[in-house]
Amino acid sequence: MSTPPAPKRSPRTRLKQALESIERTGARLARLAPRKVTSPTEAVAVAKRKHEARRRPSGLDFVLADRIAFVNPAHWDALAAQTVFLSRAYLQVLESHAPANIEPRYALAYDQGRPVAAMLFQRVLVGGERLRKPHAKSLLDKPMAGLQERLLVCGNLLVWGARGVALAPDVDPALLWHGVGEAMYRLRRGDKLLGESDIALVKDFCGKAPAVRESLRLLGYRSVDTEPDMVLSLAPGWQSFDDYLASLTSGYRSSAKKLLKDCAAGGISLRAIDAAEMATRQHELHALYQQVHQAQGLRLASLQPGYLPAMAQALGDGFVCRVAEVQGRAVGFVTAVKDGPTALGYYIGYDRQTNQQAPVYLALLQSTIQDALRFGATRLSLGRTALEPKAKMGCKPEPLACAARHRVGAVNGLVTALTRTAMHDEPPERSPFKQGG
């Protein structure tokens, strides 16, 4: 089936897009500005603090484990209640249905016998094929083909945001992040017989958290801003999707309604399915996930077919899956997860050919608003990527960052250079809501 020709853009639209492109280019160039010149005295002082921090224990006590069942459940739960992605129910699902290249590790840090930090780690084996789109051709093919790198990640590659560490709120964050770094070091050294982890990565902490950056910097980590989490704040008066639509300006409201009309015109309907149906249709849903996943350039981890159905079973009413169907055949799906006051629009998959004829992806993305309201959430997190359609829904960016460290000092200098030049698209500014709404 041939792709329909793209509609002609008006001069005004072309000018607007050109200006947005110039603004994005300017923002990227600004990141490459020379760093602030540091005086020799200050540089020596910083180097001394780093040297001391990397060689000084945090003073905390640690329990390290290969399975969540091995940690003290009461101690873990006291901290892990901060996010469903550290709950033992979820972690047991993750262990049973982990991506083939991931092994979990866990750590509990104690201060005078009291648990003050719960941490999820993942040992990850990454081959060159996961760093490029399938079938892409370039001069890097041969070097990349033989690449095998082991990472030790503090966090969870299957979700975004600060959901891999839970810290006691009344303890000095600098001490606790020092403890995170120490736990990383102990795990990396302890797992050496299983294969050296060359890179340690702290995945996803709040981009506006200077204390975290500074604590990790003293331990030799280089921080970099990543694409932001796109978050929709749900107004207290919204009880239904119609309430959300009523808050939009007429143009955005018409566009939101048109998504559903266009899908209906294409014979596509959306409905929620339960965990049992997900399990029965797991390979059908997984094939749709793969169509999206395989188009991504960076694929550090790939879901197993049973992961989402098992998660739905474990989380019960805190998990929703909606499918888009044509005469009973699934052409798309989206999942939503309740995480305290936040709802996550989680994994999505769709048939690319069908999506060319009707807005399956956008309709599924929009449907997560209904699930967030049903959860009673106050905010909907839609993660990275697809910044434009999420901005049109009313989402605003919340900055995220990560930090990396290589075990070899000389190579760690290269990590510094790479983090300085890391780029990502800036989210567009959109104002879909009525004034005062």
Look at residue 386 in the predicted model and tell me its pLDDT.
Answer: 87
Looking at the fold, whether 297 and 211 belong to one and the same domain comes out as no
Of 52, 358, 387, 92, whose CA–CA distance to 232 is shortest?
387
Of the CA atoms within 13 Å of residue 199, those in its CB half-sphere come to: 21
Q: Is-contact 323 360, C-beta < 8 A?
A: no
Looking at the fold, whether 189 and 270 belong to one and the same domain comes out as no
Candidate from 138-152, 339-353, 354-368, 388-402 with smallest mean pLDDT? 138-152
- Pick the last residue of a domain from 191, 220, 249: 220
CA-CA distance, 279 to 285, in Å (whole number)? Answer: 9
Looking at the fold, whether 199 and 60 belong to one and the same domain comes out as yes
More confidently predicted of 46 and 120: 120
Share of the chain above pLDDT 70, in %: 78
CA-CA distance, 273 to 268, in Å (whole number)? Answer: 15
Strand pairing report for 379-381 and 114-127: unpaired
Instruction: Give the pLDDT band (50/70/90) at residue 223.
Output: confident
pLDDT tens sequence across 247-299: 999 999 999 999 999 999 999 999 999 999 999 999 999 999 999 998 876 77
Residue type, 77: D
Looking at the fold, whether 98 and 209 belong to one and the same domain comes out as yes
Question: 208 pLDDT exceeds 80?
Answer: yes
What the block records as the tokens of 402 is: 């990560």
More confidently predicted of 49 and 403: 403
Of 178, 161, 230, 189, whose CA–CA distance to 402 is shortest?
161
Instruction: Give the pLDDT band (50/70/90) at residue 427.
Output: confident
- Pick the last residue of a domain from 220, 251, 284: 220
Which residue has tokens 């492109």? Answer: 21
Instruction: Give the pLDDT band (50/70/90) at residue 160.
Output: very high
* CA distances from residue 74 to 70, 89, 97, 121, 306 in whole angstroms, order as listed: 12, 14, 24, 20, 28
Looking at the fold, whether 279 and 333 belong to one and the same domain comes out as yes
Looking at the fold, whether 256 and 334 belong to one and the same domain comes out as yes
* DSSP letter, residue 132: S
Looking at the fold, whether 48 and 180 belong to one and the same domain comes out as yes
* CA distances from residue 47 to 58, 312, 412, 434 in whole angstroms, order as listed: 18, 49, 14, 52
* DSSP letter, residue 103: E
* CA distances from residue 305 to 85, 266, 278 in whole angstroms, order as listed: 19, 28, 10
Instruction: Give the pLDDT band (50/70/90) at residue 103.
Output: very high
The phi, psi pair for 119, rounded to 5°, reads -130, 135
CA-CA distance, 54 to 216, in Å (whole number)? Answer: 10
Say how many domains are in the chain.
2
What is the CB neighbour count within 10 angstroms for residue 286? 20
> Residue 114: inside a domain, yes or no?
yes
> Residue 176: inside a domain, yes or no?
yes
Q: How far is CA 269 from the centre of its chain?
A: 28
CATH number for the domain that contains residue 65: 3.40.630
Look at residue 4 in the predicted model and tell me its pLDDT.
Answer: 47
pLDDT tens sequence across 385-410: 889 999 999 999 999 999 988 876 65
Q: Is-contact 116 167, C-beta < 8 A?
A: yes
Range of the domain at 352: 230-397
Q: Mind giving me the DSSP string for 178-240?
A: HHHHHHHHHHHHHTGGG----EEEEEEEETT-HHHHHHHHHTT-EEEE-PPEEEEEPPTT--S
Its pTM stands at 0.83
* CA distances from residue 264 to 50, 208, 268, 365, 423 in whole angstroms, order as listed: 60, 42, 5, 16, 39
> Residue 336: inside a domain, yes or no?
yes
Of 374, 380, 387, 390, whose CA–CA distance to 342 is shortest?
380
CA-CA distance, 230 to 251, in Å (whole number)? Answer: 21
pLDDT tens sequence across 227-246: 899 999 999 999 999 999 99
Of 127, 107, 128, whose CA–CA distance to 116 is shortest?
107
Residue type, 369: I
> Residue 20: inside a domain, yes or no?
no
CATH number for the domain that contains residue 317: 3.40.630.30
